Amino acid sequence: MGYRTLDQISLAGRRVFMRADFNVPLDKQDGRTITSDTRIRKALPTVETILGRGASLVLASHLGRPKGQRLESMSLRPVAERLGELLGTEVALAPDCIGPEVETLADSLEPGRALLLENLRFHAQEQANDAGFSAGLARLGDAFVNDAFGTAHRAHASTVGVPAVMPDRAAGLLMQRELEYFSMATSNPRRPYVAIIGGAKISGKIDVIRNLLSLADRVLIGGAMTYTFLKASGARVGDSLVEEDRLGLASELLEIGEGRLAFPEDHVIADSFSADANVRTVESDVPDGWMGLDIGPRTIESYRRILGDARMIVWNGPMGVFEIEAFAAGTLAIARCIESVSDKAVTIVGGGDSERAIRAAGVGAAISHISTGGGASLEFLSGAVLPGVAALA
């Protein structure tokens, strides 16, 4: 794919600058407790490989959206502590991510030791991909590793600017795994190949649906975007969420996708967007005063049949308003369907909501690959080249 892997660069005695994705959720009350350390754990194989091969390691990440300001509430200190616990060795936190003091700290790192830089986005130059800022970061290492798939679709200093000036560069193990799975889904799928696309809006997923229609054997639609398609095809959708300015595009996709696009055959509808709404299931049009909030049992059955024959499945986006129990059944059923075919199919799940649904259904372990990058995986599935990946060539 035009990038090197960790095995293809020499590590012993080097000082590796690694872009990681440590953008972890913090407790809203105390602002310091990490509520899920999944992203830190997912970087551990790469961190341990680099340290184990006799390199020292300078780690860089963003956290939250400080917008170029130094905000203590978005310090990476909790990450340094947690990473240290998981590695069983102290990980120092640098006072900043560039500057003479940080360079001195990096210079004094012993092989096998790691230093975590402070939040890259305390500097606006990070997202602006500023050349001087990139050069400042690049001074901290002599080889570059990118393991942050979740930000690979962004052309920032730490994802694009730094590798541009560091000839020795490679994908980390997590990045490599993500790229291998999504490459399979876009260039070498097993068949039958079924994609399931849900969520609120088609606007962010038009290119994905268009590209998947040229790759997959079936594309199953769920979530609110159903109603933009149904309205475009002339059905009555009541008060369901519709993107009026996307009706033309939806009609175009309906034409391109004839025979491959599948839509819900029945709908769980409600008279308001709330947990205590009146709820019923309809098989035809959604009446005025009602809105479609989940796929119905007939749809679950028919999607289950299609998924049952699949040898490759890609899923992004919930089938309904799964945050509310009354409208969660469709999304949870799809999660279970995917699990039940995971022994014979390659199954890939992307996007935070789908991942949460997989966990809520308790089926995560069987899935072939749960992506760490929602936005990046959608970009990849739309056929785009991710700037952070191109920069590793």
Active site residues: 39, 201, 352, 375
Contact stretch for ligand AMP (CB under 6 A) within 80-88, 152-160, 315-323, 361-369? 315-323
- Which residue lies nearer to ligand AMP by CB, 120 or 321? 321
Which tokens in the block code for residue 161?
Answer: 């600017």
* List 172, 264, 292, 388, residue binding ligand AMP (CB under 6 A): 292
**How far is Cα 295 from Cα 221, in angstroms, rounded to an integer?**
10
Query: Within the chain, where are the H helices?
Result: 38-52, 77-87, 100-107, 124-127, 131-138, 162-164, 173-187, 206-215, 225-232, 247-256, 297-308, 329-341, 352-360, 374-381, 387-390
Query: Does 223 participate in binding ligand AMP (rule CB under 6 A)?
Result: yes
User: In this structure, are residues 96 and 81 in contact, taking their beta carbons and an 8 Å threshold?
Assistant: no
* List 257, 296, 317, 350, residue binding ligand AMP (CB under 6 A): 317
**How far is Cα 105 from Cα 113, in angstroms, rounded to an integer?**
11
Q: Would you tell me how many other CB atoms lie within 10 Å of the CB of residue 278?
A: 9
- Which residue lies nearer to ligand AMP by CB, 140 or 357? 357
Q: Measured from the CB of residue 236, what is the shortest distance to ligand AMP in angstroms?
A: 15
- Residue 353's SS3 state is helix
- Which residue lies nearer to ligand AMP by CB, 178 or 239? 239
**Closest residue to bound ligand AMP by CB:** 199
Tokens 């059923």 correspond to what residue?
A: 333
* List 178, 339, 353, 355, residue binding ligand AMP (CB under 6 A): 353
Q: Is 350 left (phi over 0), alpha (psi -120 to 50) or beta?
A: beta
Query: Does 350 participate in binding ligand AMP (rule CB under 6 A)?
Result: no
Tokens 């991909």 correspond to what residue?
A: 129
Q: Measured from the CB of residue 214, what is the shortest distance to ligand AMP in angstroms?
A: 22
Query: Does 296 participate in binding ligand AMP (rule CB under 6 A)?
Result: no
- Would you call the peptide bond into 387 cis, given omega within 30 degrees of 0 as the criterion? no
Which tokens in the block code for residue 21?
Answer: 């994705």
Give the number of residues in contact with ligand AMP, rule: CB under 6 A: 15
* List 20, 232, 241, 300, residue binding ligand AMP (CB under 6 A): 241
Give me the 250-289 binding string for ligand AMP, x by CB under 6 A, dash otherwise. Answer: ----------------------------------------
Spatial CB neighbours of 244, under 8 Å, sequence gap ≥ 6 = none
Contact stretch for ligand AMP (CB under 6 A) within 72-80, 164-172, 274-282, 314-322? 314-322
Query: Does 224 participate in binding ligand AMP (rule CB under 6 A)?
Result: yes
- Residues near ligand AMP, by CB under 6 A: 199-201, 223-224, 241, 292-293, 317-318, 320-321, 323, 351, 353
